[in-house]
Structure 1
Amino acid sequence: MPATTRDVTIRQATGDDLQAVLVVGRTTWPATYYSIAGEDYIQAGLAKWWTEEATIPAIRAGRVTVAEVDGQVVGVATVGPRDGHLVLWKLYVLPEHQGRGIGSALLDAVLENAREDQHEVQLSYLDGNTSAAAFYRHQGFVEFDREAGGGGVPDDIWMRRFLRPADDADDPAGDPS
């Protein structure tokens, strides 16, 4: 029987989750990006972002959240800073567990954790990743920027979601941007 969100445990990753987190990345990247950006992009991303060296610091810093079904990590979300903002750098769910609310549960956990001290959460996805675009729009994210990919790589489309109204003391005009 397929897992539902009731069967999913969302928690902060620990060092014991390292290999499982890497399996999620190494499984989802080819499935997600092959038709959008090609083999070279996949291999470069796997070598840069889905290694022990790249993942251990994020786990140690408490920036990785995992989704677990029956004791198996099936999804991962990673956040980190960029230009003074919190960015959702990774949100991936194993293909056989997609469409069951696991990605939404991971995102909800990230947003809840950020709500206390962040005004917004930003993220990017590759142009052409229509599944990501639809998912994030459905979750209340709106596009605010685009960065040219170059070298045959599609553009990065940047989205954000405001978590709370702008603090009038921080911005007298009340402008959330």
Structure 2
Amino acid sequence: MGVKVRPARREDLRAVQRLVSDSWRVAYGDLLPPDALAFIADEERFQPIESLEYALESDDMDFLVALVDGEVVGEGQFATGSETHAFVSPEDDEVQLQSLYVAPNHWRGGMGSRLVEAGFDTVRDDADAVLVEALAENDDARRFYRSMGFEKTGDRIISLFGLPYRATIMRRPFRTA
């Protein structure tokens, strides 16, 4: 099995749409209402190609893919500057791991770790820390991020599909003050 992590390309975007949709449906199938799951299943509506093209072209995004034998099986997006969410402080040299998804048939195979490590390598020289947000009910995600050196810094309520969900914010420092 040949595994490779590299910057995303335009020809990867349809595969990224599919794996993000599949990941959400498997990870949150018991948490989200049926109408949300139906929306997620429509890959183009859930993850419009235009939003992926924007991430691909943005100077404030590092968009990576993991491939196994040439097939895209994972993606990760690291955001800086204006592309980060409100809980990230770019002025304090914080970066956000904004997106990390692996095709469900490749979960627990090291793809997520490889993507995160490659992202760390990309941003480490310019960042003091990386922050990530995961749904509090997603125990697997929180456990994974802890294994990658992230520690919980807080919680916030987010809205998904018009419903409130608690999200956990985690931080992975590169340097200490």
Tell me the equivalent position of 2:54. Answer: 57
Q: How many residues align?
A: 161
Q: How does 1:36-55 map to 2 (within 5 A)?
A: 36-42=31-37, 43=39, 50-55=47-52
* 1:66-99 Cα distance to aligned partner (Å, 9 max, x none): 0000110000001213241311111111111111
Deviations 1:39-86 (A, max 9, x none): 344437967761112110101235210000011000000121324131
TM-score by length of 1: 0.82
Q: 1:114 to 1:49 in 2, by over 3 A?
A: farther
Aligned counterparts of 2:112 and 2:67: Cα–Cα separation in 1? 11
Q: Percent identity?
A: 30
Measured after TM superposition, the shift of residue 103 of structure 1 is 0.7
Counting strand residues as a fraction of each chain, which structure ranks higher?
A: 2
Does 2:145 match 1:97? no
1:129, 1:98 → 2: CA distance?
14
Give secondary structure in 1 for the equivalent of 2:164.
coil
Say which SS state the counterpart of residue 145 (structure 2) adopts: helix
Tell me the distance in 1 between the aligned counterparts of 2:78 and 2:64: 9
Q: 1:128 to 1:44 in 2, by over 3 A?
A: same
Q: Indicate if the aligned counterparts of 1:28 and 1:95 stay in contact, CA closer than 8 A.
A: yes
CA distance in 2, matches of 1:111, 1:47: 29
RMSD: 2.1
Question: What is the CA–CA distance in structure 2 between the aligned matches of 1:36 and 1:10, rounded to whole Å?
Answer: 31
